[in-house]
Amino acid sequence: NAVKHFKFEPRGKRRLHKKPDAGEIDACRWWLDRERALLRPGLIVALGATAIRGVLGRSEAVSRLRGDIVDLDDGVQFLATVHPSSLLRLKDESDKRQAWRSFLTDLRQIARWIGKDARALD
């Protein structure tokens, strides 16, 4: 996870997830930086706007970054896509089908990057 902060609102015996604010995301950045230094990943995949902010250190729209693998300043490659939970919240069936198709396209791109057979995602 790019952001280690778990923000929630108690509802009875349940905890409802809440999106961390910019300060909370930034406060977790040291942890991500340390993990990146230890693991030295070749590709980072950001799932949603919160992860994008955590990795890049700034807010960017998923739609603006989605679909392209780009090089970060340290040479690590980066791909942004939607968070899977956003797909589950879509109500319109046509929108949902299109969103899933787009998400699978992103997953195929990741599979190709790591050298796997992207047809396994069909």
**Residue bearing the bigger pLDDT, 45 or 119:** 45
The model's pTM is: 0.83
Closest Cα to residue 113, out of 49, 53, 66, 70?
70
pLDDT at 119: 63
pLDDT at 122: 59
The backbone torsions φ and ψ at residue 27, rounded to the nearest 5 degrees and listed phi first, read -65, -25
pLDDT in tens, 69-113: 999 999 999 999 999 999 999 999 999 999 999 999 999 999 999
